[in-house]
Every structure is written in C-alpha cells, then in structure tokens.
Structure 1
Amino acid sequence: MHPRFLAFAQLLRLPNVFTAFADTALAGCVGAAVYAGWESSAYLTTLALLALASGCLYLAGMVWNDVFDLAEDRRDRPFRPLPSGRITVRTAGVLAGVLTLVGVGLTFVAGSPLLGVGLGAAVLLYDAWLKRTPLGPVAMAACRFLNVLLGLSAIPADAFPLPLRLHTAGVVGVYIVGVTWFARTEATESSRRHLTAAACVIGLSLVLALVLRARVSVEPGPSAILFPYLLVAFGFVVGVPIRRAIRSPGPKEVQAAIKRCVLGLVGLDAVLAVAFVGLPGLGILLLLPPALLLGKWVYST
C-alpha cells in the first residue's frame, strides 16, 4: 500500500466505515420486512443516499478524533498520521470539515435533515469534549443510535412505529456503550472491574435484541428460528477476546478485544436483520471481508 494512501486510510480508520454501512443495511432489511414499497427506486435511492451520508459522517468522526487528540497522541501514539507528521493538522481539519458537510448535505437530499444535523453535531461534541468526560460512552452510543435511526428514516413512519425504531437503534446503542467503556483506557493498563462492567453492558444489548424479536410482528419465515442461536454465537465471537482482556488487561489484549467488538458491529447488525428477514439478513456479513482485508494494514482503534 502506498505510504500516502496508508496514512489517510489510518487517519480515517477505513476498515471501520463498513460498520456504518452495516447499520444502513440493517435498516434496509427492516424496510424489506415491513414496507411494501421497499423495492421502489425512490426508497432504494433514499437508502443509498443515507448510506453515503452515514459513511461520510463516520469518517469525519474518525478524523476529528485525531485532530482533537493530537496532544495525547503525541505522547501515547506518536506513530499515528498527525503526530508523525505524515498528514498535517490543517489537511486533517479540512478533510473532516468537508466530510461533515457532505454527510449532512446528503441527509438533506434524502429528506432526513434533522437526523443528519443531529448526528453531525453528536459526532463533533463527542470528539471535541464529551469523550473526555464520564458521559463519553453514552455520547458515542448516541452517535451510533442516531446512525441507525438515520437509516430507518427511509421507511415511512406508519410502516415501522417509533417505539420499534427506538428499540432497534437502542440495541446497537447499548452495545456501543459497553464497547466504548471497554476502550476508555486502551492505551494503558485497564481496570478489570471496569472491563467486567463494560462486558455486562455488552451482554445487556444482546438481551435487548431478544426482547426486540419478541416485539416484532413480522413473519420472516422458518429461518428466523435460528435468531437466538445466532445471537448466542455472536456473543461467543466477541466474548472470547473480551474474557481474555479481562484476565490480562494490558493494552495489547484490550485493543484486540476492541477491534473484534468494533468489527463485530457488522455481525450484530446481521443477526438483528435475521429477526426481520430471516437468513438473507446474514448477507450483511459480506461487509466483513473488505473490512478485514483493510485491517491487515490499517488499525481500527
């Protein structure tokens, strides 16, 4: 990989953008289950615009993160693009600003301006201030919560009631509370007590997923019976590195668990999609190979 491209890929945390697309893909599966017009060109175009907006805002958040963390990265992560001088702070600021404006602009075109502005503001507030406060995990979860709602906004309100929208987005949001809490001291030795508490929050998100399936009235077919088993399998996939990190809470182990959990968002979205459309929802897992391939050169945390 060319050094210049690698520097920007690292700044953008490029493998992680597929998790943002997975949120929109989940929304697409929900739409296919509950909305009769899901095959219309208007709906699919709106969904595509929202996916692009989601990707732009996610990437903007990654860049803003490094801009606002420059002093900390100079001390703890001097190899990153900004402290190493491979990319200037000015270039990063312009890139983040452009991505934010394009992302929010696309939500206006797609007809979801309030969610777009809200998501853009939440990303900036998190990176600039809230992540350094006790509200950091909740603020990060709010970004992901709004991202799922953004994708679901393509579905007409009468086809998917607000309580179910909030519950669907809430499963992902609670998961991110746990993951972000788990990652708060990734650069140093972590507290086993905090890691255990964060793991319990991640477990709570899986319980909420089970409750969601019980509330959904659609009939995705006999393959939906596999949903709880897939949810348990997902729990093991992310749970093994989490347990390893709790037993040995050094930076290497914790960061490995975080990487699994971050990319695991694609798996969580796929499993949730099964609750609505059955096994075709696992098609979301096709977003994992490019993320894993890029992850060989680009870090995710």
Structure 2
Amino acid sequence: MTRSGAADVRAWAELLRVPALLTVPGDTIAGAAAVSARPTPRALLSIGSSLCLYEAGMALNDWADRDEDAAERPHRPLPSGRVRPAAAFTAACALTAAGLALAGRAGRPALSVAAPLAATVWAYDLGLKRTWAGPVAMAAARGLDLLLGAAATAGRFRPALAPALLLGTHTLAVTTVSRGETRGGSALPPLAALAATGVLTRLLTQGRTPLSGALAASYLATAARPYLHAGLNPSPPLTQRAVGGGIRATIPLQAALSARSGAPVAALLTVALAPLAGRLARKVSVT
C-alpha cells in the first residue's frame, strides 16, 4: 500500500472510530442469550446490520459536527481535509441502507427493530445530541441494538427488555459524560456515571453465576477509575479518558449480560474482543 493509501485508510479508521466497532457484536450476542436462542445465520445478519448502522452513525456524527470540530478538534478527518464531507455523508447513507437491507434479510421482526434504530441514529446525529434528549436517544439506540439481536435470532424480544435497559443505562451515563469531552466542565456527570456503574455491577452480580460476577467486576474495573479521575478533575483530557473507559467497558458489560442469561460460551466469546479493542484504541481514538 502506498503512503497516500495508508493515510486514507487511517483517516477513515479515525472517522469511523474502528476500535469502538468491537463493542457492537456483543449486543447481538447478549440479545440472543436473553431469549435463550442459539446463534444462527440470522444472528450473523444481525451483527452485520448493527455494524453498518453503528458506522453510519459515526460518519454522520462527524459530518454534522464538521463546523464545530473545525474550531475545537481541527485534527479530525473532516476539518483537516483528509476526508471530504460529501464522502462522509455518502458513507452514512450507504451504510444505513446496507444495515436495513441486512436486517430485512434476517426477517421481518429484525427489520421492525432496525428501522427505528436507524431513525434514532439519524435523529441523534442531526439534532437531538445538542438537546437534553441526546443521551436518552443514544441509550435507546444501544438498547434497540440488543433487541435487534434477539428479534433476528428468535423472532421475539420481550425477554431481552431487561438487559437492553441495563445496557441503555450504561450508554446514557457514558453519553452524558461525553458532553464535556472538548470543554471539560462539571464533576457531576462522571460522578453520576460512577454511581450508575456501581448500581449496574450490583444488579449483574445478584444471585448469578461466578462467571457473571467476574465479568461484572471487570466491567466495574474498566469504567470506574477513569470516571473517578474525571470527577475529581473534569478537564477535557480526563473526560476523554472517562468516555474511552466507558466505551471499552461496554464489552465486559455485554459479556456479563450474556452470562447472566445463562450463556457462558457466548459471554466468553464476547469478552475475548476486549484485548483487541484495547490494542486498536492505542492506535485510533475511540472518542
């Protein structure tokens, strides 16, 4: 690959925040575990749909924020000129279409969840994220992604509502903290996220297996320390680390949810993604 080609690949990897992509398959796995369904080809279609919709949101996010990033984060791919805004918007549209098409192949129940998921992603990026409803919308999107996995593999998702709520609560906390990434600000969001993490850890360990307890402890260890540091000093660098820690903690949380549903193999498969996500995060920022 030429130097120019390698630079283009890195620019798109930054735009799409590739390390965070590894937090997506666990949604489908946890959703399938919640409805006691074994993985099927439809589960793979669901994972593909989730990956496409997630990356559509990443591309659309930077397209919508290009003017703000020009002032606050000029090194990002769009304001730095490494990726054209039109290309980012086109990618968002194409990835959304691909995500919906894959969900449609997985069946009508999956498409009935993927459609509002895609709508939530677009609504968040194009307006809601700058309002009080932004973190709620992001939490809803993550919860819907877990329900997509359940609907694709079993044609139903009601038993997955509880784990979707837990995952959504974690996402709500991370997204609220992320609002201070560039400016810093109040200590309240990271401290509230720390408290929420403690409550979620407690819920994951009540009356469950040793594996779910160990995974819940891993979740707490990944998220709690950066939240505490940001709470003590809510500067932009420490806030960014808190957001990164919260994103990485999604994987052990998903694994704990699978173990909690009685799917230890699925849990171990999910948590196996964490080391790779960590290595990639050292090369490409997840925030």
TM-score by length of 2: 0.91
From 220, 223, 227, the counterpart of 1:242: 227
Whole-angstrom distance in 2 between the partners of 1:80 and 1:18: 21
Whole-angstrom distance in 2 between the partners of 1:155 and 1:84: 42
Give the aligned residue type for 1:81.
Answer: P
Matched, 1:183 2:178: yes
Query: Could you give the per-residue CA deviations for residues 131-179 of structure 1, whole angstroms, max 9, x where no partner exists?
Result: 000111111101101000000113436xx771x3111111100110111
Query: Could you give the per-residue CA deviations for residues 164-223 of structure 1, whole angstroms, max 9, x where no partner exists?
Result: 311111110011011111111111122012322233233333344356x67xxxxxxxxx
Query: Could you give the per-residue CA deviations for residues 256-284 of structure 1, whole angstroms, max 9, x where no partner exists?
Result: 12111101111111111111235432221
Query: Could you give the per-residue CA deviations for residues 44-82 of structure 1, whole angstroms, max 9, x where no partner exists?
Result: 110000000000000000010000011110010000000
Whole-angstrom distance in 1 between the partners of 2:198 and 2:86: 41
Alignment of 1:75-86 (within 5 A): 75-86=71-82
Aligned to 2:83: 87
Aligned to 1:116: 114
Give the aligned residue type for 1:52.
Answer: G
Q: Mean alpha-carbon deviation: is it higher for 140-149 or for 227-236?
A: 227-236
Aligned to 1:136: 134
Matched, 1:300 2:265: no
Alignment of 1:141-156 (within 5 A): 141-156=139-154
Aligned to 2:241: 256
Give the aligned residue type for 2:253.
Answer: L
From 17, 24, 32, the counterpart of 2:21: 17
Paired residue total: 280
- Residue 231 of structure 1: how far off its partner (Å): 1.6
Aligned to 2:44: 48
Cα-Cα RMSD: 1.9
**Structure 1 contact 192–246 (Cα < 8 Å) conserved:** yes
Whole-angstrom distance in 2 between the partners of 1:161 and 1:101: 23
Whole-angstrom distance in 1 between the partners of 2:157 and 2:20: 30
Q: Mean alpha-carbon deviation: is it higher for 61-70 or for 198-207?
A: 198-207
Alignment of 1:30-69 (within 5 A): 30=34, 34-35=36-37, 38=38, 44-69=40-65
Aligned to 2:190: 195
Q: Mean alpha-carbon deviation: is it higher for 51-60 or for 185-194?
A: 185-194
The secondary structure found in structure 2 opposite 1:187 is coil
Whole-angstrom distance in 1 between the partners of 2:99 and 2:56: 9
**Structure 1 contact 182–194 (Cα < 8 Å) conserved:** yes
**Structure 2 contact 43–152 (Cα < 8 Å) conserved:** yes
**Structure 1 contact 145–172 (Cα < 8 Å) conserved:** yes
**Structure 2 contact 190–242 (Cα < 8 Å) conserved:** no
Whole-angstrom distance in 1 between the partners of 2:165 and 2:238: 28
Residue ranges of structure 2 left out of the alignment (5+ in a row): none
Whole-angstrom distance in 1 between the partners of 2:203 and 2:124: 25
From 217, 232, 253, the counterpart of 1:268: 253
Whole-angstrom distance in 2 between the partners of 1:72 and 1:148: 31
**Structure 2 contact 61–125 (Cα < 8 Å) conserved:** yes
**Structure 1 contact 179–202 (Cα < 8 Å) conserved:** no
Give the aligned residue type for 2:28.
Answer: T
**Structure 1 contact 50–151 (Cα < 8 Å) conserved:** yes
Aligned to 1:217: none
Q: 1:249 to 1:150 in 2, by over 3 A?
A: same
**Structure 1 contact 172–205 (Cα < 8 Å) conserved:** no
Give the aligned residue type for 2:47.
Answer: A
The secondary structure found in structure 1 opposite 2:154 is coil
Whole-angstrom distance in 1 between the partners of 2:157 and 2:182: 42
The secondary structure found in structure 2 opposite 1:154 is helix
The secondary structure found in structure 2 opposite 1:292 is helix
Aligned to 1:231: 216
